[in-house]
A = this chain, B = another copy of it.
Amino acid sequence: MTVARTVELEGHIIDSGTMGTSFGIVMDMGGEFEVEEFEVGRRKHDESYCRMRVMAENEADLKAILHELNQNGATVADPRDATLEAAPADGVVPPGFYSTTNHPTYVRVDGEWLAVEDPEMDCALVVEGPADDPRVRTVVLNAVEEGDLVVTGDTGIRVEPPERPRDGGGSFGFMQGGISSERPSESLIEEIADEMRSVREDGGNVLAVCGPAIVHSGGRDALAELVREGYVDGISAGNGFAVHDLERDLYGTSLGVDTESLEHPREGHKHHIYTISEIVRAGGIEEAVAEGIVDEGVMYECVDNDVPFVLAGSIRDDGPLPDTITDAIEAQNAIREQAHEADLVLMLSTLLHSVAVGNCLPSTTKTVCVDINPATVTQLIDRGSAQAIGMVTDIGAFIPMLRDELLESE
């Protein structure tokens, strides 16, 4: 153990797991640690403090350990300014660039800790602005421009992973993870409704990420109502969701199943492709609403109530609507804007779009994930926010219950 460095941890580092994790990181990565100072928070609201020396056999190992500790909230003692290096070309980051977490992050520039704007995972950090008032932006790799000053290495970076809230935090618990179909539906829905009401009262933004199962399983009308009544401030979905929603209006079917009578009109499986051609003919969803071709449903309510939507294309689509963004990068950028504005994200039966939105979220945004597939819920909760509710249930039952909870109590 020839090289060493001292790091500090501060906060509710015992019950939030930060300290245990830090010990584990050092041991897993072949290092040693020596606690130099430790002050335990004696009571619930007292913070703890730990200063420890981390040792490794060589600089490379030490660097790797420190990087990992840093991402989990430990800060190197005696901090120096972050290292900046100019990007050599558009879309090309300098070697050794700092790749972000989704936690609140601070970068030390000229001796000052600057809060990073819009924290998002797996991005670069770019320092810009006047020397007397610099700012640190989170920039996705392909948006880095030649000459951008990109942060490299781990020096001068402080990450603040979420801590266990002192008050329990209700169902939006701290890293509970325990998603299960075995949790009682009704009371959980009440909590979600409460959160939606409180976001609304605070002038916040609720983003609904929507999959086609909403239409197939009978949740469409309730979702349309929530849009109309102002409980949803944005929709993020795929081309498929929009087509299914519009097909339901145009033909009374979704994927060819009459959702009222349950009859399977055999010719129905062509309605999907007919719907696409109708909307293409009209020129787009807004035009189809204006022409009176479309007069109900989720997309209709979006147009009618000026609720913005982003429709992203996919190679699986039967055909893009004029409104659909077919380029993945452009679509990600549009989704990123939605994600940054959101205070609460409802991920409703779509893995692809939920992952896309989740990728752009800071760890502080509350999320609700509902899917009938437990694996989908687990995957979304695991990568997601520190404050997430996962429900394994039928989306066609969930949305109407949420609607009733929100509208009947008004």
**Chain A residues packing against B (C-beta within 8 Å):** 14-17, 19-21, 23-29, 32-35, 38, 40-44, 50, 64, 67-68, 88, 91-93, 95, 97, 99, 122, 140-142, 164, 166, 168, 170-171, 180-188, 191, 213, 216-218, 254-255, 257, 259-262, 264-267, 270, 272-274, 276-277, 280-281, 312-320, 326-329, 331-332, 335, 352-353, 355-356, 359, 372, 374-375, 392-394, 396-398, 401
Question: A99 touches which one: B50, B88, B265, B274 (CB < 8 A)?
Answer: B274
- Residue from the set A32, A97, A313 with the largest chain B CB neighbour count within 10 Å: A313
Pairwise interchain contact A28-B259, C-beta atoms closer than 8 A? no
Q: Name the CB-closest residue of B to A276.
A: B141
Pairwise interchain contact A273-B141, C-beta atoms closer than 8 A? yes
Q: Tell me which residues across on chain B come within 8 A of A16, comparing CB atoms.
A: 20
Q: Tell me which residues across on chain B come within 8 A of A317, comparing CB atoms.
A: 328, 332
**Assembled-state Cα–Cα distance A93/B216 (Å):** 26
Q: Tell me which residues across on chain B come within 8 A of A34, comparing CB atoms.
A: 42-43
Question: A329 touches which one: B267, B280, B320, B398 (CB < 8 A)?
Answer: B320
Question: A20 touches which one: B14, B35, B262 (CB < 8 A)?
Answer: B14
Copies of this chain, tallied across the complex: 4
Question: A260 touches which one: B17, B187, B331 (CB < 8 A)?
Answer: B187
Q: Name the CB-closest residue of B to A400.
A: B186
Known contacts A393-B396, A394-B394; A217/B266 CB under 8 A: no
Q: Tell me which residues across on chain B come within 8 A of A372, comparing CB atoms.
A: 181, 372, 392-394
**Assembled-state Cα–Cα distance A392/B372 (Å):** 8
Pairwise interchain contact A218-B266, C-beta atoms closer than 8 A? no
30 pairs from A and B in contact (CB 8 Å cutoff) = A15-B27, A16-B20, A17-B20, A25-B266, A28-B264, A29-B265, A33-B43, A35-B41, A38-B38, A38-B40, A64-B265, A64-B267, A68-B267, A99-B273, A122-B270, A122-B272, A180-B216, A181-B216, A182-B257, A183-B257, A185-B217, A185-B394, A315-B356, A326-B327, A327-B327, A372-B372, A374-B375, A393-B397, A394-B398, A397-B397
- Residue from the set A14, A272, A335 with the largest chain B CB neighbour count within 10 Å: A14
Pairwise interchain contact B315-A332, C-beta atoms closer than 8 A? yes
Q: Tell me which residues across on chain B come within 8 A of A181, comparing CB atoms.
A: 213, 216-217, 372, 394
Pairwise interchain contact B185-A396, C-beta atoms closer than 8 A? yes
Pairwise interchain contact B99-A266, C-beta atoms closer than 8 A? no
Q: Name the CB-closest residue of B to A64.
A: B267
Q: Tell me which residues across on chain B come within 8 A of A41, comparing CB atoms.
A: 35
Q: Name the CB-closest residue of B to A257.
A: B183
Q: Name the CB-closest residue of B to A68.
A: B266
Q: Tell me which residues across on chain B come within 8 A of A67, comparing CB atoms.
A: 267
**Assembled-state Cα–Cα distance A16/B20 (Å):** 7
Pairwise interchain contact B27-A184, C-beta atoms closer than 8 A? no
Pairwise interchain contact A182-B315, C-beta atoms closer than 8 A? no
Pairwise interchain contact B27-A44, C-beta atoms closer than 8 A? yes
